[in-house]
Structure 1
Amino acid sequence: MKTDREYIELLEQYSKRHYSQEELQELLQWLDSESGEEAYNIYLGSRLEEACKAGSDYPDKLAQKILRRVKKQVGIKTTPSWKTVMWRSVAAVLLLLASSGAAYWILGDKSYQMEDEQVVLCVEKGNKAMVTLLDGSKVWLNSDSRLKYSKKDARDVTLEGEAYFEVAKDKKHRFKVHTPYASIQVYGTSFNVSAHSNDSLFSVSLIEGSIGLTMNNQSKEVRMRPNEVAYYDQKKSRFLVARKNMDGVGLWRSNELKLTDVDIPTLWSRMGCWYSMDFIIQNEPVKKHLYNVTIQTESVEEMLGLINQITPIEYVIKGKEVIINYK
């Protein structure tokens, strides 16, 4: 069994010799492992600034050479994994943003831009992205979300939308997340934040570690423990922290959307992000409803049919718009 360093050396030899099929298969298995993924992230990050300064396209050539050899020698014809998609689409972005303090692993269409000393990553509706910051922290951005931070400090970020964080520990530099509703002080942890400014409900779910939550209109910090979720209902100005089973939190990262006890505006807002469509609600029923919905591979028509069985609706699909009328 090779060490991570030996696998990295194997990657670096791509231009010097021909891989055997056994070596390629072993290399792919390593890249698909948790250890291999982490080692590759660190290795690639260490090469970014060097490549950018030298004007080299090394990461791009590395990705393309390996993929061509895999296709030719191993004959893989299955749907590409997220790593393959990352290799194929992100190399140029890596070079451009090498000096900005982050490596971008892209799962779908995205846009990015520089605003003076700021880096902004925008994920369009219907897409997702994974961001590995150079401090080792990982951020998964859900559909219709935006992450912004200073090039000088990638541990102080601003989020609009939904994200799942796995924060690298650094006792000297706290990780902070700012949202339209609250600021979060991170003490080494994994947590999910849902902070769409057009949603009526803001939530933070803590999976592991500890965080301190300070609402924008308050000065007191609320310390959260694992398996707790904090809710803020903007319409009712109500804040609540409760215990919760975290099994479904962050499942959207694995192509599953799970909504629990969401109201009508939140349901259609999240479905709009998921399907990259605009849901227009022309009327709401007098009786309030809370929905529990899980979407995996269902089409928008299938989900509308299921929701119609719970609360009768009429709907018209016009391109990227869905007009909803409650009966």
Structure 2
Amino acid sequence: MDTYIYEIIAKQLSSVSTPEEDAILREWREASPDNETAYIKAKQIWQDAPRSLPVSRQKQFNAAAAWSKVDQLLQQQEAPAAKTVRMPVFRIAAAAVLLIMLSAGAWWLASRPSLKVREMAANEGKIKSVELSDKSVITLRPGAKIKYSEGAERVVTLEGEAFFEVAADPRHPFLVKTPNQSVVEVLGTSFTVKTADAHTTVIVSTGKVKLGRANDTSSVILTSGQKGVWGNGQLSAADNDDPNFMAWKTGILQFNDQSLLEILPQLADFYGKVIRIEDGYQATAAQQKATISFQDQSCDEVLHELQLLLGFNYKQEGDTIVIGK
């Protein structure tokens, strides 16, 4: 039974649900006609409860009596009729009990830690990690933030970039949602997700994930070593050609016969710097190549080593590093 969904229904009908929970409920209702029918049934029971059920407005109530009354109500509502589609009684009854519990005191659901939406941000230029109740681990790149609730459904909303190590649970897919409405679905794997400029980029380290747009049947399956990109209505998948996609987490930068023109944008991304190549030096930078690696070094140290190897000069102009002859 989708207990977590019915808890959200209960919170919504009591006007205590969050926008994130409303969005989860909306997607669940649109997923199938059966879900919409179940929602309508639960809402009907909620609306009928005040006149049909002796609901206590105190913090305590008689659960056994509630079950009995709900069962009676269901039998009345599901009287034999031609071509009537009947929902499983236990499913609706359980939902109704959740609604009754909330009507007995909205504090019950609102105060449950497992239902609260949590937020975490990696501020002050530091990496942050969190282990969820299902043992999945999320590592946030500086500047990233997530929202998540640790109910039966594993859903995380991400802005920025993060590395996910997802605990396997075939019954409960792990979903990562992004600002551009893309959704990453996974059963158990490790991967990075980066959101920027209306694009979502997913690179899979191990396992398999599905990348697609919310409420859209089109999607791509990504396996270990592949990269998927969603943005501007386009969805693509290819082999990952970026060996440094995890550099922000490992502190290791590796370049194998790459030109200075290719190296500098990666340094800019890694260090959060603006690096510009002078127009007159673009052609030369495209020809200068290096095979080199760096670990836990400052931007200035890396540029100095590349300068000794390739022979260019660099200078600071305001917030920009300028590369030239």
User: What TM-score, normalized by structure 2, do the two folds share?
Assistant: 0.49
Which structure shows the bigger proportion of residues in helix conformation? 2
User: What TM-score, normalized by structure 1, do the two folds share?
Assistant: 0.49
User: Which entry has the higher C-alpha Rg, 1 or 2?
Assistant: 2
Which structure shows the bigger proportion of residues in strand conformation? 1
